[in-house]
Structure 1
Amino acid sequence: MEEKPDARYLLANERTYLAWMRTCLAFIVGGAALSQLGVEHRYAWLRALTVGLAVLGGIVMTPLVYRHWRVNERALRSDAPLPGHHLPSVFLALTLVIGAGLVALLALAR
């Protein structure tokens, strides 16, 4: 008789997936909000770059997050070891680049 996986692990995997999806959505919405700010200065290209990275980062990361959830779900259901992943590193790099762009925008706006 096949043993079902512990529901707590499946639900924890789903909570993690939803948290990653909220982060992707926050990148997209944050980029859209930044594009609507009325701050005009000579470094408009920097704002466009920061907005583009935020929105594109959120869009690109969304299917990667889904794939990660699906792979973990399969591993949990088949009692296989969970695979390693680089998602936190990618999110960290994306957040640092966008944050640096925002700091530069604020510093150069004066």
Structure 2
Amino acid sequence: MTKHKIYTMSFASVYPHYVKKAEKKGRTKSEVDEIIRWLTGYDQEGLETQLQKETDFETFFEEAPGLNPSRTMIKGVICGVRVEDIEEPTMQEIRYLDKLIDELAKGKAMEKILRK
């Protein structure tokens, strides 16, 4: 089976779009970073290293220090698909992140986004 194109895309090439989407709605880059760190377990230095290395999405999630166990509480539709129904693990992680960024851009409180 052929890998989905997003797996080989550089995380660093999509990251500015996450930030732009958030900032357009009055949110901040630091909030985007907090979401990514919460989801993946990277610290800020680790996140910046991955961005500098232009790591692809697949590697970004494979090398994540500790995927947050609470991420399974993320529910809803992204790109017309329910995130909880995605069977391929890497795609599900990518869509979890997309969903969290969407929630941020929609003005949801960080406490709710981070499932506290």
Q: Shorter-chain TM-score category?
A: 0.3 to 0.5
Task: Return the TM-score normalized by structure 2.
Answer: 0.36
Task: Return the TM-score normalized by structure 1.
Answer: 0.38
Max radius of gyration: which structure?
A: 1
More helix per residue: 1
